Copies of this chain bind each other. A is one copy, B any other.
Amino acid sequence: MTIEASKSEQKAAKIRLGMVGGGQGAFIGAVHRMAARLDDHYELVAGALSSTPEKAMASGRDLGLDPARCYASFEEMADREAARPDGIEAVSIVTPNHVHFAAAKAFLERGIHVICDKPLTSNLEDAKKLKEVADKAKALFILTHNYTGYPMVRHARELVQAGELGEIRLVQMEYPQDWLSEPVEQTGAKQAVWRTDPAQSGAGGSTGDIGTHAYNLGCFISGLELDELAADVDTFVPGRRLDDNAHVMMRFRGKDGGRPAKGLLWCSQVAVGHENGLKVRVYGTKAGIEWTQADPNYLWFTRLGEPKQLITRGGAGAGAAAARVTRIPSGHPEGYLEAFATIYSEAAAAINAAKAGTLVDPSVVYPTVDDGVKGVAFVTACIESGKQNGAWVKV
């Protein structure tokens, strides 16, 4: 461990931020707000926090927002904020999935940067349309696949990019949970209700909610592109309307003309004993790595024929990509909120460069609309393969 001096904290003016969704009773909105605050690059100044006007207003008051900037709809917020000289420069979209498309479109088309929760949209058609919008927009689109912000995930990716693993052969991803082991959506629990409702979530249940995270992370670390998948998709809990477990076999395109790699993905919301058991393992011809979200400050790294190494965030063996996004010394754990905050800080770096008309530092990394399209395509392919009795489906 080395106790280092703090990095020079940025002196750029704070980015004026709005939020869509995330009012009283929501979960992920508060996470986004903490993430936005941690590194001090944003100031929350406006919100369309709920689709219920009274709740939108009350939620804004809770957060100390100017009542004049608490809107009853994102459309109104987009219009009014775009017209203000001190209007928001960026917006966080933290609603259920089915709202993402229209909301993101509204802000992007007004030149307001969008930081959007995943999955990108509730169906592939919307995802592709959103990509078109984003590609044409004068504003950035950042998708909060927040696990890509963990320092040891960055290090894993750097090891792969540096060739330390050799040619990748296997990518094993899993994300088991147990909170939907019983039909809790029937008790009215808000988080369970919308996440198991096709109208709000789209066609994927566990595949969309957590499978996309595991898939995104496997690709982020390995640098591979999925070619096709075969999925056995289940709904174990009687009465549930979306999948709560999926087994997925994957075939990735070979890199640089090399042999295709294979993968396995398991996502589950009925695996009793797991809270948020996201784990990614990647094996190449020269080395293998393993990372687990619940213990995120560690990365197992083994070179073929050498002892296993436990690389720690901030410790010996962690490279430049991890160091960039590390806040505190090794042995003092960083967690989920810090990783989430890193996505916000990467977004801020990109937004500030855009504002300044300069190039963004090439080491800045965040998930894009393209990653979002891939995620929705993954869910779509899982559901399609599931319907076809596990046949291979191209993505």
Answer yes or no: A179 CB below 8 A from chain B CBs: yes
Q: Which of A8, A273, A285, A311 neighbours the largest number of chain B CB atoms within 10 Å of its CB?
A: A273
Q: Identify A392's interface contact among B22, B245, B251, B389, CB under 8 A.
A: B389
Q: Which of A234-293 contact B (CB under 8 A)?
A: 234, 236, 245, 247, 249, 251, 259, 262-264, 266, 268, 270-277, 281, 283-290, 293
A1, A277, A306 — most chain B CB neighbours (10 Å) = A1
Residues of B close to A3: CB separation below 8 A: 27, 179, 191-192
- The answer on a CB contact under 8 Å between B232 and A262 is yes
Complex Cα distance A306/B3, Å? 16
Please tell me if the beta carbons of A330 and B275 are within 8 angstroms of each other in the complex.
Answer: yes
Instruction: Describe A's contact surface by its main secondary structure.
Output: loop
A182 at the binding interface (Cβ < 8 Å): yes
Q: Is the CB of A11 within 8 A of B61?
A: yes
Q: Counting CB contacts under 8 A, is A31 at the interface?
A: yes
Query: Nearest CB to that of A315 among chain B residues?
Result: B275
Q: Is B179 a contact of A1 with CB atoms below 8 Å?
A: yes
Contacts of A190 in B (CB 8 A): 5
Contact call B259/A236, Cβ cutoff below 8 A = yes
Interface size on A, residues (CB 8 A): 111
How many Å lie between the Cα of A138 and that of B330 in the bound state? 39
For the complex, give the distance between the alpha carbons of A347 and B387 in Å: 47
**Pair A170/B38 contact, Cβ less than 8 Å:** no
Q: Flag the segment in A114-122, A333-341, A357-365 that touches B.
A: A333-341
The answer to whether A34 and B327 have CB atoms under 8 Å apart is: yes
Identify A304's interface contact among B181, B328, B389, CB under 8 A: B181
Is there an interface contact between A337 and B329, defined as CB atoms closer than 8 Å? Answer: no
Asked if residues A31 and B328 are in contact (CB atoms below 8 Å), the reply is yes
Q: Check B331 against A334 for contact (C-beta < 8 Å).
A: no
The residues of B that contact A390 with a CB separation of less than 8 Å are 230, 249, 390, 392
Q: How far is the CB of A334 from chain B (nearest CB, A)?
A: 5
Residues of B within 8 A of A316 (CB): 305-307
For the complex formed, measure the closest distance between the CB of A301 and the CB atoms of chain B, giving whole angstroms: 8
The interface residues of chain B lying within 8 Å CB-to-CB of A392 are 389-390
Cβ of A329: which chain B residues have Cβ within 8 Å of it? 27, 275-276
CB of A302 closer than 8 Å to a CB of B? yes
Task: Collect the chain B residues with CB atoms within 8 Å of residue A303's CB.
Answer: 272
Would you call A47 an interface residue if the criterion is a C-beta within 8 Å of the partner chain's C-beta atoms?
no
Are A5's CB and B34's CB within 8 A? no
- In the bound assembly, the distance between CA atoms of A8 and B189 in angstroms comes to 17
Residue A37 CB within 8 A of the other chain = yes
Interchain residue pairs with CB less than 8 A apart (14)? A2-B179, A6-B30, A34-B327, A37-B37, A264-B264, A264-B266, A271-B281, A272-B303, A273-B300, A274-B288, A274-B331, A306-B316, A307-B310, A309-B310
**A residues with CB within 8 A of B:** 1-9, 11, 13-14, 22, 24-27, 29-31, 33-34, 37-40, 61-64, 165, 169-170, 172, 177-179, 181-182, 189-192, 230, 232, 234, 236, 245, 247, 249, 251, 259, 262-264, 266, 268, 270-277, 281, 283-290, 293-297, 300-312, 314-317, 327-338, 389-390, 392
